[in-house]
Chain A
Amino acid sequence: MRVRALALRILNQLRHDRRTLALMLLAPVFLLTLVYFILADTTPVINIAVVNAPAGFEDKLEEYNVRGQRYSKNEARLALERGEIIASIKIVGGKSFIEVDGSNPTKAKTALAALEQAKIDVFISRPDLRSEITYLYGKEDLPTFDNFGATLIGFIIFFFVFLVSGISFLQERTSGTLEKLLSTPIRRWEIVVGYVLGFGVFTILQAFLISWYCVYVLKVMMIGSFGLILLITLLTAIIALTLGILMSTLANNEFQMIQFIPLIIVPQIFFCGLFDLPADIEVIGNVMPLYYIADALTEVMIRGSGLGAIAWDLSIILVCSVLFMVLNTLLLKKYRRI
């Protein structure tokens, strides 16, 4: 089958091209590590007051590198004000009430993540009950920080796949192989689908590596399902790939492909929810793929949402990908009408 042959060829090309391989796999890991060290101060000890919780809850917290100790309600409030502890938790009837010191977002985030995890471990049957979180000093909404890890994963995958697939399709054109390909009975849509499949398979590997690294090595706050993260990152790769191929038809050489970065990539960083924007400007984000990707990743990683909560985001990404593929197929008419 021609689609399969094309997909295999792309995988072969990637296999031979060590530099691109490294760019796709190691550069994201390097970048993520860098950002991690810039943003996360080396969290020393994080103390949490356990006011009311089932037995064994502190042990669970210990597993997530947080020290939990029993406090009375008043002691806990006092300790929180003095900065001795970062959070306190009270679990009543399966519902948790958490007070957290938001002035140190990194610690607060780690504490919250640990609490959520420990809560899940202890109350296997009640994941439906959301914790009620009260921030004491910080603001409750800390978009820059809480969303950063999740958004960064989406952005990095989008960026590298966009660039590599775009340039790869461009080279198909400039090297004359596209013309040779079009002298065969291959159909235009088969070329597009072959590309999506080839890069798609590769990006499964990339998405897995990046997500795994973030969640299990860097321990980015993550309370949702790892499978869902993989699904989102895969769709991210597909939309980046189809958009990359689409833009490459407008470029005449590699450098012109690079010129799309400030036009296509950078604006998406501003509008993907990382920054607090005035509402009337923020709506621009609605037309940017990364906005939906970031939203879906944030939902899953920080709020622990399921498929239902991100279905809308995912369908938009999917619909856009299909749209781009159709456009690509039509644009190939420029090179051969049939």
Chain B
Amino acid sequence: MRKTIIKQRKVMENNPGIDNSKCIIVRNVNKFFGSKHVLKEINWEIPHGRIYGLLGPSGCGKTTMVKIIAGILEATSGETYVLGQKMPKLSIMNKIGYMAQSDALYGSLTAKENLHFFGAIYGMSKAEIKNRTEEVMELVNLSADLYKPVQAFSGGMKRRLSLAMAIMHNPPVLVLDEPTVGIDPLLRKNIWEELDKLAKQGVTIIVTTHVMDEADKCHNIAMMRGGRLIAQGTSRELQDKIGVQSIEEAFIYYGGQQDES
């Protein structure tokens, strides 16, 4: 017990100047895959309890960025802090719910077995697992499919189950990589309402998307192109600043600026 306290204090000392009002801090992050420069000098701060949209075209580096935040990948240079701790760190990974871009599910297992497995991996008790399974399946509208093997699911159903798995252990930080792809509009609306609810409870949520109109539903937006963050702010701010009426136009504007510089 004593040991862990000392250890924690040490970490704090190691991370001086970390603004604890921010949930996630990304500092001067660069990522190379071989010689390919995928993330370029990213600086990004995310406050608690916000839905932060990471917007950008395919291949611009969104997935790479959120994987670094989730602790799956490591930056080539620069630092990432989540909840005041330098990533990657196993104890923090318990506090992050990660939903991958491609559904990572065990096809031969039922939805219930998938949820129970990850619940146990996150160290939840049997009773917690049971209660949460019902709750999250209700939330993503899959309660009737609890005992179906996942390989019999449609694409949208798999996406929803992936989301259920990400929020299963009540994490204070959610990292969702293109969560609404392949989900029909009505259900998509439900999901956004749920995310709103979670944010109100203080959950910090990162959502990546390449669909511009989804960006409006986020509290804040970070625009990304070619491995750089090109603009940050609320949707309104970003549009008003340059006097345009849609997020697309704003994206084109900021992207163009980037090309010139």
Contacts and interface: CB of A to CB of B under 8 A. Distances in A.
Contacts of A183: 70-72, 93, 96, 98, 100
A180 B165 CA distance: 10
Contacts of A12: 109, 113, 117
Contacts of A181: 121
A176 B103 contact: yes
Interface of A (DSSP majority class): helix
Chain A to chain B: the 7 pairs with minimum beta-carbon distance, closest first = A5-B120, A180-B104, A176-B104, A183-B98, A16-B108, A185-B90, A177-B104
Contacts of A177: 104-106
Nearest to A176: B104
A336 B103 contact: no
A175 interface: yes
Interface of B (DSSP majority class): loop
A225 B96 CA distance: 52
B255 interface: no
A13 interface: yes
A16 B149 CA distance: 9
Contacts of B94: 184-185
Interface string A326-338: 0000000000111
Contacts of A2: 120-121, 123
B104 A184 contact: no
Interface of A: 2, 4-6, 8-9, 12-13, 16-17, 175-177, 179-187, 336-338
B121 A338 contact: no
Interface in B105-122: 105-110, 113, 117-118, 120-122
Contact of B108 (A13, A180, A337): A13
Nearest to A182: B72
B170 to A, nearest CB: 14
A175 B91 CA distance: 25
A183 B67 CA distance: 9
B121 A13 contact: no
A177 to B, nearest CB: 5
Interface of B: 70-72, 74, 88-91, 93-94, 96, 98, 100, 102-110, 113, 117-118, 120-123, 149, 165
Nearest to A14: B108
Nearest to B107: A175
22 contacts: A9-B117, A12-B113, A13-B106, A16-B109, A16-B110, A16-B149, A17-B108, A175-B107, A177-B104, A180-B118, A182-B72, A183-B70, A183-B98, A185-B90, A185-B93, A185-B123, A186-B121, A336-B71, A336-B72, A337-B74, A338-B71, A338-B90
Given A184-B94, A337-B88, A5 B121 contact: yes
Contacts of A175: 104-107
B107 A185 contact: no
B108 A184 contact: no
B79 to A, nearest CB: 15
A2 B74 CA distance: 24
Given A16-B149, A338-B89, A176 B121 contact: no
Given A13-B108, A177-B106, A336-B88, 9 more contacts: A13-B109, A16-B108, A16-B109, A176-B102, A179-B104, A180-B98, A183-B93, A186-B121, A338-B90
A181 B117 CA distance: 10
Nearest to B92: A185
Contacts of B71: 183, 336, 338
Contact of A184 (B107, B121, B149): B121
Contacts of A16: 108-110, 149
A336 B113 CA distance: 25
A317 B88 CA distance: 36
A8 to B, nearest CB: 8
Contacts of B100: 176, 179-180, 183
Contacts of B120: 2, 4-5, 8
* Chain A CB within 10 Å, residue with most, of B70, B103, B106, B149: B106
Contacts of B121: 2, 5-6, 181, 184, 186
A9 B109 CA distance: 8
B70 A185 contact: no
Nearest to A337: B74
Contacts of A182: 72
A281 B122 CA distance: 51
A9 B113 CA distance: 8
Nearest to A336: B72
Contact of B122 (A176, A179, A185): A185
Nearest to B101: A176
A312 B137 CA distance: 53
